[in-house]
Amino acid sequence: MAQIFPKWSNNIPRKLLIGSTVIGNTLVFTVWFFFAPEFLDVGYAPEQPVPFSHQLHAGQLGMDCQYCHTQVYDSKYANVPATQTCMNCHNQIKTDSPALEPVRQSWETGEPIEWIRVNYLPDYAYFNHSAHVNVGVGCETCHGRMDQMEVVYQAEPLSMSWCMDCHRAPEKYIRPVEEVTTMGYTAENQIEMGLELVAKHNIHAPQYCQGCHY
């Protein structure tokens, strides 16, 4: 009987085996890397209506975070400052700067500036700022070195596994409450100090659903 398949088809099983292994692994690692929030979300830096520079205000001028974001110790929400806060200084400083035109516009018309939110959590995750800063989670831990950011970008993935990393081992990340707004803070004995702080503040970071998702 005539042969149906050419001789090279003897190699097909081997090629299939190698091929499917390679493709399978490539697929897994592609999804693992490129579909992760670390890749998709970190570094998100939209262009804002006013080119506000944290690097200038928090870094060079040394303003404390709470000068503008006043509610972080008291509220779930860390507020974006109102135009009033900007005008505290900018009614006298750089009053003719074209970059500040939207701020003056807002001040005159009463229309708010339409800032674009960078650190975005879905509405079914109920994050609370005051719960974190009052027990010594530094701004930097979640938002990165704000004092060095010319344009705000998302510094951390904000994925649930990223939250859980800290909730499962808060001692690795926690710092004294008075150092919360310090940028570039490091402790030599982080774990030892962290464990003490966890005990001191009686921290039981929730690892159950109701903690964040109600």
Partner 1 sequence: MSTAAHASLVQEEPLVKGNHSFADITQMVTAQNLNPTPKLWYVLFGISNLVFMVMIVSIAYLIYKGTGIWGLNNTISWGWAIINFVWWVGIGHAGTLISAILFLFRQDWRTAINRFAEAMTIFAVFCAGLFPLIHVGRIWVIYWVFPVPNQMVMWPNFNSPLLWDVFAVSTYLTVSVLFWFVGLIPDVATLRDKVKSTIAKRVYGTLALGWRGSTRHWWNYEKAYMLLAGLATPLVLSVHTIVSFDFAVSLIPGWHTTIFPPYFVAGAVFSGFAMVLTLMIISRKVFKLEDIMTLDHIEKMNIILMVTGTMVGFAYMMEFFIAWYSGVEYEKAIFILRATGPYAWAYWTMIACNVLSPQFMWSRRLRRNIGFTFFISIVVNIGMWFERFVITVTSLSTDYLPSSWAYFNPTIWDIALYVGTFGFFFTNFLLFLRYLPIIAIAEIKSVMPEADPHNYDEKGNYVAPGAPEPVELDIPEEVMSERDRQLQTA
Q: Applying CB under 8 A, which of residues 151, 160, 177, 187 lies at the interface with partner 1?
A: 160
Residue 1 within binding range of partner 1, rule CB under 8 A: yes
Cα gap 64→182, rounded to integer Å: 8
What tokens appear for 18 in the block? Answer: 């190698």
Site residues (CB under 8 A) for partner 1, limited to 47-76: none
Q: 29 vs 77, which CB is nearer to partner 1? A: 29
Give the nearest distance from C-beta 12 to partner 1 in angstroms: 9
The answer to whether 135 touches 129, Cβ cutoff 8 Å, is: no
Taking contact as CB under 8 A, which single stretch among the options 80-88, 107-115, 161-169, 192-200 is the one that binds partner 1?
A: 161-169
Cα gap 86→107, rounded to integer Å: 9
The answer to whether 124 touches 212, Cβ cutoff 8 Å, is: no
Give the nearest distance from C-beta 4 to partner 1 in angstroms: 5
Largest CA distance in the chain: 97
Residue 164 within binding range of partner 1, rule CB under 8 A: yes
The answer to whether 146 touches 52, Cβ cutoff 8 Å, is: no
* Per-residue contact string for residues 9-38; x = within reach of partner 1 by CB under 8 A: ---------------------------xx-
Could you tell me which of 163, 145, 167, 166 has the C-alpha nearest to residue 155? 145
Other C-beta atoms within 10 Å of 68: how many?
19
Residue 4 within binding range of partner 1, rule CB under 8 A: yes
Cα gap 174→197, rounded to integer Å: 7
Taking contact as CB under 8 A, which single stretch among the options 63-71, 114-122, 159-167, 197-205 is the one that binds partner 1?
A: 159-167
Give the nearest distance from C-beta 194 to partner 1 in angstroms: 21
Cα gap 36→201, rounded to integer Å: 33
Q: Applying CB under 8 A, which of residues 161, 179, 199, 200 lies at the interface with partner 1?
A: 161
Q: Which residues bind partner 1 (CB under 8 A)?
A: 1, 4-5, 36-37, 157, 159-162, 164
